[in-house]
Structure 1
Amino acid sequence: MSNFQLDHLQHLETEAIHIMREVAGEFERPALLFSGGKDSICLLRLAEKAFRPSDIPMPFLNVETGHEFPELISFRDRRAAQLGAKLIVRTVDQALANGTAVQAPGEVSRNKLQIPVLLGAIEEFRFDCAIGGARRDEEKARAKERFFSFRDAFGQWDPKNQRPEIWNLYNGRLNTGENMRVFPLSNWTEMDVWEYIKREKLEVPSIYFSHKRRCVRRGGQWLPVNDLLPPKPREEVREMIVRVRTIGDIITTGMVESPAETIDDIIAEVAAARVTERGSRADDKASEAAMEDRKKAGYF
């Protein structure tokens, strides 16, 4: 009898690879959401391990808000090209131009505007499943997700209308117009993600590491100075050594003062952190129900 036992990361990896293969077996037209962030970087490695030496059997999809960090976009494009994958990009700017998305008066963040863009892409390409990198430890709404998260014919999520997942059995049956969101990293934590990135020697965008950047103090946090939302009169502006902990809309992503220059440095910071990962996202701090409301409407 073998004494071989999986360590913690190997167990999470095996579970996620199994889910990836379940998606390939159960769905006809799946897509993998790839933003270039740390979680989706792990998804790409898992997809490689699940399907190589064959091609990854699904295109990559990204909903671009127009408010991304430039470093993230260049990394996304380069990584997709390295893997020889088909990258589909649909933008909020396009949706605003054709009227499928409408920005509310005074609303600056474009997070909600991703909803019609994502639902439109799912309809355009007839995707029956979209794989994403959400994790249950991120915040309360995501903690309610199953691995296979059912969406109705309107693309909406009802946390009370989800299917049981017993003994690692997943129900992927869908009626016409319905689709599934699948989250292979559900049981991972922020620490697991960085430990996996270290073990697999994965490249990540440079903004995860400390760098010099002009920041403005707003809403109790440091936000990156940018042309989309320039500093107001009398706001405090400093040039600081910072990094991002989680990447979102450039006008709402808080910068963390940090000297972290290596993955080991980041892991040490995460271990000592007393603020949640998404605690630096101004759009999430605005309302505890913000994420759940967006998810119910069709957000990822």
Structure 2
Amino acid sequence: METVEARRYGLTHLDYLEAEAIFIIREIVAENEAPGMLFSGGKDSAVMLHLAAKAFAPASVPFPVVHIDTGHNFDEVLDFRDRRVEQLGVRLIVGSVPDAIEKGLVREEPNGSRNRIQTPVLLRTAEEHGLSALMGGARRDEEKARAKERVFSFRDEFGQWDPKNQRPELWSLYNGRIHPGESIRCFPISNWTELDIWHYIAREGIELPSIYYAHERDVFERNSMYFAVNQHCQPKEGEEVFRETVRYRTVGDATLTAAVVSRAATPEDVIEEVAATRITERGATRGDDRVSEAAMEDRKKEGYF
């Protein structure tokens, strides 16, 4: 919703969201000695890194970006991640889930999913690099548990989140005070929607991995969702493979992230498509969020982003 202040200064809705996000990013850097930003190569993290570059221009981004690599990534996303980091000259920290599995630090689930075991790898990576504040691209419109979270989300010494113990954020005043061992998760684009993200991508000309736009792919249907055939995700007996033009609304673990049938080849096409849908991108395409109504909240309490 456009505020009185936004109208007074001639700001558009996107101008207001951009200004708010940049203010939050600067605030977390000002209040914290060792911040970092999660950057997976997805659309939300691409927007976040673009905002960070704007926030500190003409200087470089003054913190590292962090990717928790499950080993189940889409190739197009990893290629984009590396290219974008090189363009901006940002330091990339990679926490490897496959390495943690090999060392016996975590154990893969029977179904092959590595989403849940990202959490201990994230916490270990943050500890190893001394990162006491991490920024992420989570938005409140994505999922019920994320709608509960504050912009500055306090985590205890175990990296855990208590939804009943959160700090007030009246008048956009953020309390970043932490004790040794504790940390802060920060969400500068909490108030954005999927549609806002795409309008901003179109306005700013932000580059994204090609799989966010319509392309032909071999897919199969599972749980009423279309999964791409790749090295990480193979059809089971009785699941027929066919060719379809699809795109991804969100990218994550390739074993659990589905595509949607689409002909949207540009940001403007995607905007038209998203404006007509009534299902969030996670609800429509993420198999890991269909485990239970409280799937995301359970993982966040354990330390998930």
Question: TM (normalized to structure 1)?
Answer: 0.97
Q: CA deviation at 1:4?
A: 3.1
Q: Which of 110-119 and 225-234 deviates more?
A: 225-234
Q: Which amino acid aligns with 1:270?
A: V
Partner residue, 1:39? 44
Q: Which residue of the partner structure matches residue 262 of structure 1?
A: 266
Partner Cα distance (1:176, 1:15) in 2: 29
CA deviations on 1:18-49 (whole Å, 9 max, x unpaired) are: 10110111000000100111101111111111
Match runs of 1:38-57 below 5 Å = 38-57=43-62
Match of 2:246, SS state, is: strand
Q: Does 1:28 align with 2:14?
A: no
Deviations 1:252-300 (A, max 9, x none): 1111011111111000000011222112111112211111000000001
Residue identity opposite 1:291 in structure 2: M
Do structure 1's residue 16 and structure 2's residue 21 form an aligned pair? Answer: yes
Task: Please list the CA deviations of residues 221-276 of structure 1 after superposition, one character each: whole Å capped at 9, or x if unmatched.
Answer: 11111222321222121111000011111111111011111111000000011222
Would you say 1:226 and 2:246 are equivalent positions? no
Query: For the Cα contact (< 8 Å) 2:214–2:246, is it kept in 1?
Result: yes
CA distance in 1, matches of 2:177, 2:208: 35
Counterpart of 2:156 (choices 152, 159, 172) is: 152
Aligned mates of 1:229, 1:15 — CA distance in 2: 39
Any residues of structure 2 matched to 1:267-286 within 5 Å, and which? 267-279=271-283, 280-286=285-291
Match of 1:204 among 208, 212, 224: 208
Q: Which moved more, 1:273-282 or 1:21-30?
A: 273-282
Aligned to 1:87: 92
Give, in whole Å, the separation in 2 of the partners of 1:176 and 1:274.
43
Please say if residues 155 and 185 of structure 2, whose CA atoms lie closer than 8 Å, have aligned partners that are also in contact.
Answer: yes
* Structural mapping, 1:108-127, within 5 Å: 108-127=112-131
Deviation of residue 3 (structure 1)? 5.4
CA distance in 1, matches of 2:150, 2:80: 30
SS at match of 2:37: strand
CA distance, structure 2, for counterparts of residue 186 and residue 228 of structure 1: 31
* Secondary structure of 1:21 counterpart: helix
For 2:293 and 2:247, the matched residues in 1 are separated by 24
Q: Distance in 1 between matches of 2:98 and 2:255?
A: 16
The equivalent position to 2:106 in structure 1, one of 101, 111, 123, is 101
Read off the aligned partner of 2:144 and give its amino acid letter: K
Is 1:290 the counterpart of 2:295 in the alignment? yes
Over 4 Å off, 4+ runs:
none
Structure 1 counterpart of 2:177, one-letter code:
R
Matched, 1:191 2:195: yes
- Of 251, 254, 274 in structure 1, the residue corresponding to residue 255 of structure 2 is 251
Counterparts in 2 of 1:91 and 1:7: CA distance versus 1, 3 Å: same
Percent of aligned pairs with the same amino acid: 56
Check 1:157–1:3 CA distance in 2 against 1; reply closer, same or farther (3 A cut): closer
Q: Which amino acid aligns with 1:191?
A: L
Higher alpha-carbon deviation: 44-53 or 263-272: 44-53
TM-score normalised by length of structure 2: 0.96
**Corresponding residue for 2:11?**
6
Where in structure 1 are there 5+ consecutive unaligned residues?
none
Give the SS at the match of 1:173: coil
| Structure 2 residue aligned with 1:175 | 179
Q: Which amino acid aligns with 2:250?
A: T
Give the aligned partner of residue 70 of structure 2.
65
Per-residue deviation, residues 194-217 of structure 1 (Å, max 9, x unmatched): 000011011010000011100011
In the alignment, what sits opposite 1:163?
Answer: 167
Read off the aligned partner of 1:48 and give its amino acid letter: A
- State the distance in 2 between where 1:204 and 1:36 align: 8
Q: Is the 8 A contact 2:233 2:254 kept in 1?
A: no
TM-align CA RMSD: 1.1
